[in-house]
């Protein structure tokens, strides 16, 4: 990792910790019941819904088809699309409960939709570590998905977040051209690109994300924080400017972290 990237990562961590230390008493986070399916945003409101570039391998096509058809409670996967403009931004929206028990259950059930959500929430490494304990043939679909698809997804997320950290707008645009839903993909810190761009003070990146994906303005990180929280806490000289940009874009100052 380059020195500049290490500094950016440390700055992001320190800013997140500073927000956490200033937060009011943390409310007990609600966990999801086993029967509750969290709907992950795979397509943003107003996007074409194309899945992006395909390398033509049969294994990826098969896994994608299985992911789209995987539903253990009878719900249609098409109904889980487009959450960025809806419940995802609601202060009361439940979060994905990535507990050890849930990971085990989703792997055993070959619930590829939920496994995809785990990676997009920034828990790809944890999912891979959990999968090391499974040898059950009944989980073959999950194991194939984790071994082949998850590393590619994690690398995609790393590339996008690296571009955001460095203020590389062209790099971000190239990364999102293939699969737009990665604009809400979180890194291992639980931050989405809009949060990281705010912390680093990259005004052009923030404006681009808000212009192309306006519904991300109140997108929450894993602690329930929005970009507005970060803009108020960051020591970056552009923090106040970004705060005003976010307010004009519709950021809700009433949202509290958890």
pLDDT band at 41 (very low <50, low <70, confident <90, very high): very low
pLDDT digits (tens, 9 = 90+) for 211-229: 999 999 999 999 999 999 9
Between 70 and 196, the more confident residue is: 196
What pTM, to 2 d.p., does this model score? 0.68
pLDDT band at 11 (very low <50, low <70, confident <90, very high): low
Own/partner pairs for 70-73, CB < 8 Å, 24+ apart?
70/110, 70/111, 70/112, 70/113, 70/141, 71/113, 72/109, 72/111, 73/35, 73/37
Mean pLDDT of 91-120: 87
pLDDT band at 135 (very low <50, low <70, confident <90, very high): confident
pLDDT above 70 (res 114): yes
**Predicted local confidence at residue 95, as pLDDT:** 75
Q: How far is CA 99 from the centre of its chain?
A: 17
Domains of the chain in start order, with CATH, are 57-72+96-178 (no CATH), 189-258 (1.25.40.20)
**Predicted local confidence at residue 246, as pLDDT:** 98
Torsion of CA 193, 195, 200, 205, to 10 degrees: 50
């Amino acid at each position: 990792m380059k020195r500049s990237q290490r500094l950016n990562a440390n700055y992001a961590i320190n800013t997140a910790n500073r927000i956490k230390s200033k937060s009011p008493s943390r409310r007990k986070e609600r966990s999801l019941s086993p029967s509750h399916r969290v709907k992950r945003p795979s397509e943003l409101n107003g996007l074409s819904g194309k899945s992006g570039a395909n390398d033509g391998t049969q294994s990826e096509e098969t896994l994608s088809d299985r992911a789209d058809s995987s539903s253990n409670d009878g719900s249609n996967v098409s109904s889980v699309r487009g959450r960025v403009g809806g419940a995802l931004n609601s202060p009361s929206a439940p979060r994905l409960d990535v507990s050890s028990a849930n990971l085990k259950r989703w792997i055993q059930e070959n619930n590829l939709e939920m496994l995809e959500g785990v990676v997009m929430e920034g828990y790809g490494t944890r999912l891979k570590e959990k999968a090391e304990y499974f040898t059950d043939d009944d989980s073959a679909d999950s194991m194939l998905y984790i071994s082949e698809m998850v590393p590619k997804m994690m690398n995609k997320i790393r590339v996008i977040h690296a571009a955001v950290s460095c203020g590389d707008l062209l790099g971000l645009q190239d990364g999102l051209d293939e699969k737009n839903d990665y604009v809400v993909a979180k890194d291992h810190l639980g931050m989405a690109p809009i949060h990281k761009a705010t912390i680093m003070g990259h005004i052009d990146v923030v404006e681009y994300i808000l212009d192309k994906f306006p519904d991300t303005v109140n997108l929450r990180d894993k602690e329930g924080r929005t970009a507005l929280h970060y803009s108020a806490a960051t020591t970056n000289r552009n923090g106040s400017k970004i705060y005003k940009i976010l307010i004009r874009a519709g950021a809700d100052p009433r949202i509290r972290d958890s």
